Amino acid sequence: MTTTGTELFLDGTALRVTEVAAVARRTVPVNLGIAPAALTAMHESVLLKRELIDTGIPIYGVTTGFGDSVNRQISPAKAADLQRNLIVYHLNGVGPVTAPDVTRATLLIRANCLTRGPSAIRPEVVSTLLRHLDADILPLIPERGSLGASGDLVPLCYVAAALLGEGEVRYRGEVRPTAEALRAEGIEPVVLEPKEGLALINGTAFTSAFAALAVADAAELAFAADVATAMTCEALLGNGSHFHPFVHANKPHPGQGASAELIRGLLDGSDLTTSYEEILVRRSGLEGRGFRTLEHRIQDKYSVRCAPHVNGVLRDSLEWVGRWIDTEINSSTDNPLFAWETGELHHGGNFYAGHVGQAMDSLKVAVASLADLLDRQLELVVDEKFNAGLTPNLIAPRDAEDYESGLHHGFKGMQIAASAVTAEALKHSGPATAFSRSTESHNQDKVSMGTIAARDARTIIELTRQVTAIHLLALAQAVEIRGVHRAAPAIRRVHELIRSHVPFTDRDRRMDHDIHQVERLIADGSVRAAADVADPLFPTDR
């Protein structure tokens, strides 16, 4: 893929997760096209396909039936009609309609994979697909129905049907007949040639769309979690020495070290945290006694002290998961493939989303563990038994004679909600890829379940973002009770961001809208921008 300003020219080799997220969420205006070299490759593979059809040889899905029906050959005269039937009989998805950002990512990834060349689909078909994306004509894709092999057949059929001008789409904020939306944009419906229906639907774009957005979102969560740990350390008057470079250089996992370094940067200038050295200076010594109880703990609990070891797993997972997804979205993921350079036809199984499934099963475990970590930190902050003198449940401080004393419960309900959401995230973290089912007359007898894994990852990330939002709200309250002026400059900036959207909780009130506000601040990168401390591992993000 090449870029010129705000133009992306797809060639099936260089699309990145960051670009998928930007296009899918429309954060920057982008004009999409096909790179000249890709146009040449696509033309050549189409010519080879036509030559091979004319020879009368059986070509899977072109002059044969699909799947287990591969032993039924048809004449070349029927090949185009076969493609339409392929699309129609897969229009049987169920479940909720896919979110617009995932749908946009699906269109972009499918187009990019097809521009590699071996899929033998005409450039004008892919150009039409990109015009749908540019006009935001989005097919209504049900979330459920894909095994992740043979590709995302069911979901991608809704994409193909829209290209044919059939079904319904979301267009200009409304559900409208596809034909009507195409007329409004001056787009002609596609008439498929042999193999083109199969090229459109026999791929992993739907699975990869969920995965690409999950990677982008998990990177923001990793940063927000380190912000939360730094704020927790301040709220609890904790020991910043736990994040000392010496400790983490002696267990040099890059993600762990990056997390600790970021937390140190976030705590720089704090008057709320202490250090092991300061505790030693303050100590009075045993003075001849055989035992005494220390006034200050020299070690914080695991959920604070070991936070880099938890978030470090997510950060290191993002590195390889991101590489795997980048590879997947720049692959020819359909079957068969046409090698125009040598004039050969190859049948294989690139539609199998095994790498995406494994990546998403791993990512969701790491993210769910992060939710558990933050939920445990929240317990320490709201519980008067552990919060180092903060008010019970972070209620606003009041004199005992104040009529309001005893009437308010602060963040007690928020902790209950966070625990419930955490439990749900952990419940979803089981491996989807372990549940392969043989289907389609035992032709698809081993399937990836990558789509379910990727959808689960999306769900766990949403749940963990909600836990993080609740925790950040509680931490903003705690830091304010301690005295914002004593917090580190980076933490003061994050506090200011939260307070610009959510007020201090001085009495019991509903806080669900507050959670949604802070969720958005995490998702769109506002928390990262407010902190204004460089991320050592992902300085520009994925």
Q: Which residues are catalytic?
A: 60
DSSP per position, 55-85: HT---TTTTB-SGGGGG-B--GGGHHHHHHH
Name the burial class of residue 438, with classes exposed (0-12), middle (13-18) and buried (19+) by CB atoms within 10 angstroms of its CB: exposed
Question: What is the C-alpha to C-alpha distance for residues 45 and 121, in angstroms, rounded to an integer?
Answer: 8
Provide the token pair at 312.
Answer: 């470090």
Do residues 108 and 24 lie in contact, with contact meaning Cβ atoms separated by under 8 Å?
yes
Tokens representing 99 are 């979110």
Is 245 exposed, middle or buried (CB count within 10 Å of its CB: 0-12, 13-18, 19+)? Answer: exposed
Instruction: Please answer whether residues 522 and 428 qualify as being in contact, where contact means their C-beta atoms are separated by less than 8 angstroms.
Output: no
Instruction: Give the C-alpha separation, 505 to 395, whole Å.
Output: 7
Sheet with 168-171, edge to edge strand ranges: 138-139, 168-171, 174-177
The DSSP bridge partners found for residue 94 are 144
Strands 168-171 and 337-339, sheet pairing: unpaired
- From residue 363, alpha-carbon distances to 188, 256, 431 in Å are 41, 16, 11
- Alpha-carbon span 181 to 172, nearest angstrom: 9
Amino acid of residue 244? H
Residue pair 381/390 in contact by the 8 Å Cβ criterion = yes
CA distance 316 to 326: 16
Rounded Cα–Cα distance for residues 260 and 229 (Å): 10
Q: Quick one: 111 exposed, middle or buried, by C-beta within 10 A (0-12, 13-18, 19+)?
A: buried
How far is the C-alpha of 419 from the C-alpha of 413, rounded, in Å?
Answer: 10
Q: What number of CA atoms fall less than 13 Å from residue 489's CA on the CB side?
A: 5
- Rounded CA separation 52/215 (Å): 41
- In angstroms, how far apart are the furthest CA atoms of the chain? 101
SS3 485: helix
Closest Cα to residue 255, out of 214, 208, 218, 206? Answer: 218
8 Å CB contact between 310 and 373? yes
Task: State how far the Cα of 534 lies from the Cα of 385, in Å rounded to an integer.
Answer: 35
